[in-house]
Structure 1
Amino acid sequence: MQPEVSAWLRRRSSVAADWPVDKLLDAKRDTRVSVVLPALNEAATVGDIVKVIRTELIERAPLVDELVVIDSGSTDDTAAVAADAGARVVHRDDILPTLAAVRGKGEVLWRSLLVTDGDIVAFVDADLKDFSADFVTGILGPLLTDPTVRLVKAMYDRPLEIGDTIVPAGGGRVTELVARPLLNLHWPELAGFVQPLGGEYAARRSLLERLPFPCGYGVETAMLVDTLRLAGLDAMAQVDVGVRRHSHQDEAGLGRMAAEILQAVERRLRRGPTGAHPVELSTALTQFERDEDGFRLRTHDVAARERPPMATVPEYRARTRLVGR
């Protein structure tokens, strides 16, 4: 590993236990913190996550100022469960309704900036099992205590659960086969991130509003690369929060995820160091399924679209002026 990455790991890696709530409350002062859960058909898990955050980080200790679940079109009781547990629930399509929404996680995260007002925004996936408040306090710690840190990623073990079988470190298949090799090849400074695709991370709004957001699963990869370009490696940190248990996609779903990540990377390679001149790429991914007649071809749109930095959106600029930013 290159010396720069080794030095960064020593300087910018920590564990959740390093960031007790009392320490963060002392550092918080006037900083507002928003926690956002993007959710699609997560009724089985979203309620428990919301309850933990509300009980431990809002009612017991006033660390989190707003807790928002963005429902991106659930057909189950996700919205009702989240609201009953104490979150403010906003439907994706009700945010910036003049712009038609597209599918994808990145789309939801991008739109969430319009309905939150935290100086720091923390994102937490809504499918986590055995959720702990450490996921939130860990990623907030470096941001609340060090003004030079602008983005913090959670790192953890990701077991793969298939029925009753558990593979201790088998849950990061797209990470190990796609994202990590690409980052090591093209942006070796980012090689020290244990979970580059992890969905638990926090950042300063002043950074997030300057970033383009791929609409799909390429958002986490793009965020690392674009933050490196805008702010440099030392503006990023990672915190070990233990073990992350969550639902897993099948191979076809993983293939579509990989395609979206590859497109996000390809766009950034073609833009060059300044980040200018976005390039249109193919959005089609052909996959195959076997049925009684043999292999059937299926073509999917893998959400290559990207949203511009939120700071360039007139509705966002008008809203931030109203709240004095």
Structure 2
Amino acid sequence: METDLRALARVQDWYGPHSSVAAEWPVEALLRAKGRTVKGGNAVSVILPARDEERTVGEIVTVLRRDLVERAPLVDEIIVVDSNSTDATAARAAAAGARVVAQGDVLSHLPPLSGKGEALWKGLAASSGDLIVFVDADLRNFRSHFVTGLLGPLLADNAIQFVKAAYERPFTGADGMVWRGGGGRVTELVARPLINMFWPELAGFVQPLGGEYAARRAVLERVPFVTEYGVEFGLLVDLLELVGLDAMAQVDLGVRAHGHQAMPALGRMAGQIMLTAWSRLERQGRVLSATPPDRRLLQFGLDGQVDLVDMSVAERPPLASLAVEDVA
């Protein structure tokens, strides 16, 4: 009980000074902060991993270019990582003004892997910014404060290394009904319990699995990237170990509207997050097992079909660990 109370007190002490709202970071103030850095050091890259997001990616890039490149020169490059799309994602992103890179063309000499984390890692490798902002490409209500809010703590305080977005995630049903707080089902059912059980210092993060976050390149290059949907969970745990809680912050961006996964996909996502958590517990010497957890998931459909799916997750090593010729 005493340990639990200490962990809760630690989160409470962290939460106030390290939590803010997007309105606290107006773009004019960020431009001044960025300009105070001599000889660069604050170049900003915004990276969008995208697979079959033709309906939303163009609008996101358009808003970014209009507000944060043309009207206010805050963002230095916008990169869309096309993750093997079968639709017009790449064409629409390019037409809107992004630099589009095919996931398989980045570090193409390495064996290919799949998943969101792979696209993020490839995007980091393809980018040149000192500050990296990741934004999901399926957002339906994107506004430029999603980026300015995340950049605020990084530009204002050199001690901050990582900033995570917080927001409300409504759920829109098939009938069009909107349920406040109904989104983020895997967060509430899987990720939050795991965090509170094993990494309670991270319990103050409102959206641990959210796809919008920013960090300094020097830090991101020192941690591995889980290639599937465990990537956000893995980054939180690994960065906590690398830089400590006081170098991490979160910013409330308001409401996040996006598409929702079907229940079987959420089940696979949950399994990948559990496997990611297990691997971190093993590395930290907190669990010992003679046999690894099974990576297969038996799922049952409404019409009686049975599917055995693979939940395996792989990892890309820290970019900083690659030889110079590997990154070139």
TM bucket (normalised to shorter chain) is: over 0.9
2:228 to 212, 216, 219: 216
**By how many angstroms is 1:317 displaced?**
6.8
Question: In the alignment, what sits opposite 1:322?
Answer: none
Matched, 1:272 2:278: no
Deviations 1:95-133 (A, max 9, x none): 111123222100111111221010011000000012110
| Pairing 1:307–2:297 present | no
**In the alignment, which residue of structure 2 is the partner of 1:229?**
241
Note if contact 2:162-2:214 (Cα within 8 Å) is conserved in structure 1: yes
Partners of 2:108 and 2:234 in 1: how far apart?
25
2:270 to 227, 239, 258: 258
Cα separation, 1, equivalents of 2:266 and 2:257: 17
SS in 2 for 1:130: coil
Q: How does 1:108-127 map to 2 (within 5 A)?
A: 108-127=119-138
1:54 aligns with 2:65: yes
Q: 1:37 aligns with which of 8, 30, 48?
A: 48
Q: Is the 8 A contact 2:10 2:201 kept in 1?
A: yes
List aligned pairs for 1:126-275, cutoff 5 A.
126-163=137-174, 164-272=176-284
2-structure distance, mates of 1:309, 1:281: 24
Q: Which amino acid aligns with 2:213?
A: Y
How much has 1:247 moved relative to structure 2?
Answer: 0.1
Q: Corresponding residue for 1:18? A: 24
1:301 Cα shift? 1.9
* 1:18 CA displacement: 0.4
Percentage of matched positions with identical amino acids: 54
Residues 21/172 of structure 1: CA separation in 2 closer, same or farther (3 Å cut): same
Q: Secondary structure at the match of 1:286?
A: strand
Q: Check the 8 A contact 1:310/1:316 in 2, yes or no.
A: no
Q: Paired residue for 1:9?
A: 15
**Paired residue type of 2:241:** R
Q: Secondary structure at the match of 1:90?
A: strand
TM-score of the aligned structures, taking structure 1 as reference length: 0.93
Once superposed, what is the RMSD of the aligned Cα atoms? 1.5
Secondary structure of the residue aligned to 1:11 is coil
User: For structure 1, which segment, 16-25 or 97-106, has the greater mean C-alpha deviation from structure 2 after superposition?
Assistant: 97-106
Task: Tell me: CA distance 1:219–1:22, structure 2 relative to 1, closer, same or farther (3 Å).
Answer: same
Consecutive unaligned residues in structure 1, runs of 5 or more: 320-325
Which stretches in structure 2 are left out of the alignment for 5+ residues?
Answer: none
CA distance in 1, matches of 2:273, 2:324: 29
Q: Work out whether residues 58 and 65 of structure 1, in 8 Å CA contact, stay in contact via their aligned partners in 2.
A: yes
Q: Conserved in 2, the CA contact under 8 Å of 1:281 and 1:304?
A: no
Q: Name the counterpart of 2:108.
A: 97
In 2, Cα distance between equivalents of 1:73 and 1:197: 23
Shift in Å at residue 273 of structure 1?
6.1
**Match for 1:137: what amino acid?**
T
> C-alpha deviations, 1:42-73, integer Å up to 9, x for none?
00000110000000000110100000000001
